[in-house]
Amino acid sequence: MSMKYRYGEMTWPEVKAAAALPCVAIVPIATLEDHGRHLPIDTDLLLCATVCELAASRAAGRCVLVPPINHGYSPHHMDFPGALTIGAHTLIDYGLDVCKSLAHHGFRRILIVNGHGSNTPFTDIIARLCAVETGVLAAAVNYWSAPGVREVADALRESEPVGGMNHACEFETSLYLAIRPDLVEMNQAKRELSHRPSKNYWTDLIAGDGPLTMMEHWSRLSGSGVMGDPTKATAEKGRALLEAAASGIAELVDEMLARESPPRVDHH
């Protein structure tokens, strides 16, 4: 196949050729929502798309990069101006239709890369439904959970070990600083750890969540929209995190390519 990897830049014969070879279709998905007073509302989208672009460029010839699904599930953010949300069922149907279209054109492996925490249950469902309805190998991952990211984040981390990296935080702000520093207003960055962790409830992109998972309206949890400590963010940390996330996604592409799909057996 050609070394083109951006799906939208391909002609249909190039798409046909890519689908005929061992190839993973990468589908980024995010949302538009408030990210404090210091970051643009496209934070989840820009970060996820940039990680996927870098990963796909390294795995060129083994993947295609589908243009991102821009909109996601953000109803709990609607108290802050800017959030655009689509319904839970709309998101599932939309994502599934995109993945089923790829399967229809012959792609046998699909990796959904998510950039917005509250899309997580839905991207999991989309991958499951795609797998059972089309028979292709479909998977979903949050880019901050890609292999290798946790180790880098733990080594760089200066914010609270649980809660400092959540939303518009040290993690996301560092990445944005590495990608588009001109759009980050660091003088507006504010530390907020107001989500009130309790015995069985805590949340952190890197440290993970407690057994009690729940999502309240964001305005109950944060005054500025921040959850975490963006004042600890630097572009240098962001470059290391971007590198780790892109390497991790490229690793997942190769892992999916190596995975065999034995035929189903109907034991009736």
**Which residues make up the interface to Zn ion (CB under 5 A)?**
43-44
Number of Cβ atoms within 10 Å of the Cβ of 168: 29
Please say which residue, 7 or 72, places its beta carbon nearer to Zn ion: 72
Please say which residue, 43 or 224, places its beta carbon nearer to Zn ion: 43
CB of 155 to Zn ion, least distance (A): 21
DSSP 6: B
Give me the numbers of helices (H) and strands (E) for the chain, helices first please. 8, 6
Query: Which residue number has the CB closest to Zn ion?
Result: 44
CB of 190 to Zn ion, least distance (A): 15
Please say which residue, 100 or 116, places its beta carbon nearer to Zn ion: 116
DSSP for 25-73, please give it. Answer: EEEEE--B--BTTTB-TTHHHHHHHHHHHHHHHHTTTSEEEPPPB--B-
Please say which residue, 43 or 247, places its beta carbon nearer to Zn ion: 43
The alpha carbon torsion through 181, 185, 190, 191 (nearest 10 deg) reads 0
161 touches 193 (CB < 8 A): no
CB of 201 to Zn ion, least distance (A): 20
Number of Cβ atoms within 10 Å of the Cβ of 101: 12
CB of 39 to Zn ion, least distance (A): 8
Phi-psi region of 135 (alpha: psi -120 to 50; beta: other; left: phi over 0): left
- Using CA atoms, how far apart are residues 158 and 177, in angstroms rounded to an integer? 16
Rg (CA), the chain: 19
CB of 140 to Zn ion, least distance (A): 17
Please say which residue, 44 or 229, places its beta carbon nearer to Zn ion: 44
Number of Cβ atoms within 10 Å of the Cβ of 80: 18
- Using CA atoms, how far apart are residues 42 and 25, in angstroms rounded to an integer? 23
Number of Cβ atoms within 10 Å of the Cβ of 62: 20
CB of 16 to Zn ion, least distance (A): 36
CB of 35 to Zn ion, least distance (A): 6
